[in-house]
Amino acid sequence: MQLFIDQLLKGIIYSLDQVILPGLSSPYLRAQAIAISSSLRNLATRLASLDQVLGYQNHSLKSIFQSLEKIIDSSPELSNDKTSMGLKEKIEGQWAKIYDTKQLLADENYDLKLLLEEIIGSLWEIEDRIAIQSLRELHGQIRQFLKQEVETELSLLTPPDMAQVSKG
């Protein structure tokens, strides 16, 4: 392609906003055009920072999983607990994965979040049975990560005007 993607998107957005939208009279079609323009704008922002975001998230998630491994290893109760050991096995499985696709960061991010989903599913249940302060703190760290993830997503978004999107 003979131009940068951000320049391409900028041109399409301009055309939508300045050429197409003023010529549309149907509220439904106007609402669609406004939504497309807004989505392209957000896509441009996202493309510019996606690798950085994914890299940071992957690093944070790996750190959480390493902490969980350490907690399990250092606790005789957890080391003898079937669910905890199941989680440890899954984490070890994750470390063994090799990413050689073109979307390395995105693929790894997907797997890490899938693993986090599984860990959360078990963590509450383990905490009910085995009261360990460090485990509770790790749960807090996970919540902190989830909160940061949301804040990062919000920082990458310029919300469309929903009044316009709803009314056209």
How many other C-beta atoms can be found within 10 angstroms of the C-beta atom of residue 122? 15
Minimum distance from CB of 63 to other proteins (Å)?
15
Q: Does 94 bind other proteins (CB under 8 A)?
A: no
Site string for other proteins, 109-148 (x = CB under 8 A): -x--xx-xx--xx--x-----------------xxx-xx-
**Does residue number 15 form part of the binding site for other proteins (CB under 8 A)?**
no
Binder among 15, 39, 79, 101 for other proteins (CB under 8 A): 39
Q: Which of 27, 47, 63, 70 binds other proteins (CB under 8 A)?
A: 27
Q: In this chain, which stretch among 3-11, 36-44, 75-83, 130-138 interacts with other proteins, using CB under 8 A? A: 36-44
Interface with other proteins, residue 70, by CB under 8 A: no
Q: Does 5 bind other proteins (CB under 8 A)?
A: no
Q: What span, in angstroms and rounded, lies between the C-alpha atoms of 56 and 105?
A: 10
- Under the rule (CB under 8 A), what is the footprint of other proteins? 26-29, 31-32, 34-36, 38-39, 42, 110, 113-114, 116-117, 120-121, 124, 142-144, 146-147, 149-151, 153-154, 157-163, 165-168
